[in-house]
Amino acid sequence: MSENNAWKKFQSFVVNTQVWRAIFRTGIPTTPRQRMMVVLNGVFLHLHPVRLPKHAVKVKYTWCMGGLSFFVFLVLTITGILLMFYYRPTVEYAYGDIIDLREQVPLGIMREIHRWGAHLMVITVWLHMFRVFMTGSYKPPREFNWAVGVILLVLTMLMSFTGYLLPWDQLAIWAITVGSNMAGATPFVGTGGPGSSLLAIGDVNFVTSTSDAKFAMLGGRFVGEAALLRFYVLHCIGLPFVMMIFMIVHFWRVRKDGGISGPT
């Protein structure tokens, strides 16, 4: 009993210090008022509303998949930043750096977490879409947010696709070769696509193997040095940047469209 008392005293001392109160405005949330304030005052918890209907927090309704997708995205960001310390996106160094990540770097499972996390994120995003469909949550007023979600789904797969090239092994370049060959078959703007030969004046073709969609994607006619740099920049900066913007809109609209869906 006395031990418990001492702990209580210590606790109340800590939460009343100037430092603690400077950081946590509300103190330890024990009363309903404090519990509301802690969500309202915090920048991160402020993503949430203060109160929710009970069905909205049940795992059997949400499957947690949207939240987990966001969480895995954060894990991927953190591990990705760590990987960038070691990885150089050049044909000369890329493969060796990946080997070193396992062999030389302490706690060498960052790449594993990053790769499996990427697969996991694709899966959680798909299951999130599945859940949203099954609960009819795309129906008015949430039509637009469903479309934003579809864009985020594409961006997730593009993130994963651009990352696939970076280890610069056989698996990587041939998977990207298969993917980029499709770009070369785009109607009108790919050399192997229908209609590209129509875009010509006399004998001068506008769409050639050095000016088509595949070339724009790879920065060359084949998966090489330029493609590696392009995919690296897109993977680390370009696509995450776009994705952040769509995520902000997605989360904002969840709140503005009336919070998580529910029976009316």
- CB closer to another protein out of 9 and 119: 119
Contact 50, 39 (CB under 8 A): yes
Binds another protein by CB under 8 A, chosen from 174, 200, 210, 237: 174
200 is a contact residue toward another protein (CB under 8 A): no
Distance of CA 58 to the CA centre of its chain: 24
d(CA 72, CA 156): 11
Binds another protein by CB under 8 A, chosen from 78, 82, 105, 127: 127
d(CA 153, CA 229): 24
- CB closer to another protein out of 9 and 88: 88
- CB closer to another protein out of 9 and 201: 201
179 is a contact residue toward another protein (CB under 8 A): yes
d(CA 175, CA 181): 10
Contact 210, 221 (CB under 8 A): yes
Residue in 165, 140, 141, 155 with CA at minimum distance from that of residue 218:
165
Choices 14-22, 82-90, 127-135, 230-238; region in contact with another protein by CB under 8 A: 127-135
- CB closer to another protein out of 86 and 126: 126
d(CA 20, CA 37): 16
- Which residues in the 220-249 window bind another protein by CB under 8 A? 222-224
Site string for another protein, 69-108 (x = CB under 8 A): --xx--x---------------x---x--xx--x------
DSSP 203-259: TEESS-TTSSHHHHHHTSSSSSHHHHHHHHHIIIIIHHHHHHHHHHHHHHHHHHTTS
Binds another protein by CB under 8 A, chosen from 68, 152, 159, 234: 68
Choices 5-13, 174-182, 204-212, 248-256; region in contact with another protein by CB under 8 A: 174-182
Choices 7-15, 16-24, 137-145, 231-239; region in contact with another protein by CB under 8 A: 137-145
